[in-house]
Amino acid sequence: MKLLALDTSTEACSVALWLDGEARELFELAGQHSERILPMVDALLTEAGLKLTQLDALAFGRGPGSFTGLRIGAGVAQGLAFGAGLPVVPVSSLAALAQGQDADKVLAALDARMHQVYWGAYVRNPHGLMELQGTEQVLAPEQVPLPPGEGWAGAGPGWDAYHVALQLRLGDCLAGWQSEQFPHARDLAVLGAAGFQAGQAVAAEEAIPVYIRNDVAMKSAGHQGGGSAHGP
């Protein structure tokens, strides 16, 4: 199977090609997602000697995350998929973050600004894929739900911003946390390929972001060329 994956949900921007079980990735923390994402796609396809029409599907980080970044990712995925006649697999950015950790139980957190985090608890299944426990939420670090048992690993920009409050809240549930961790397209590609095989692909026009904080997202979308509650 051949799949192109991209993620622009945080300050990181990444693109990956999944080629029959092997992932190749380009990853940047330079910002300017709208300017960088298509050249990164072109570079990866050129390196692999492939055209979009030779792929089976696209996958993209559908959120939660930066409102501006999610719109960029969804728009690029839609445009590429329309042009090549490909289906699209939306993948949770929190799940991709968790998938990339060297742990089997992960508390993934993205910085939602306004002293809140986008939050999800994930457990790795026997196939090596992260599965969501409960629901993804946006809430204050002091209010995150306590996961069952111990040995949980924390990761993501939400931990970088609010690790003190999160550690106080989670106590003995937490085994530790990793700094400077972001969703990667290579991990999104793993989940996207599995999702495609499971029949989770949708038509290009259905490749839409999942904001979680819908009221803020709608206000943000109402400003022409407006800013984002969470850059870039």
With helix as H, strand as E and coil as C, how does 181-195 read?
CCCCHHHHHHHHHHH
pTM as predicted: 0.91
What region does 134 belong to: left with phi over 0, alpha with psi -120 to 50, or beta? left
Quote the strand ranges of the chain, DSSP E. 2-7, 13-19, 22-28, 57-63, 88-92, 105-113, 116-124, 130-139, 152-155, 174-178
Walk me through the domains of the chain, giving residue ranges and CATH numbers.
2-93+183-221 (3.30.420.40), 94-178 (3.30.420.40)
How far CA 108 is from CA of 97, 138, 157, 160, in Å, comes to 7, 12, 9, 11
Average pLDDT for 89-107: 98
Percentage of residues in the chain with pLDDT exceeding 90?
A: 90
Percentage of residues in the chain with pLDDT exceeding 70?
A: 92
In this predicted model, what pLDDT tens digit does every residue of 24-76 receive, in sequence order?
Answer: 999 999 778 999 999 999 999 999 999 999 999 999 999 999 999 999 999 99
The residue to which tokens 């006649």 are assigned: 85
Q: Which helix (H) or strand (E) holds 39?
A: helix 33-48
Q: Which pLDDT belongs to residue 223? A: 40
In this predicted model, what pLDDT tens digit does every residue of 201-210 receive, in sequence order?
Answer: 999 999 999 9
Amino acid, res. 69: G
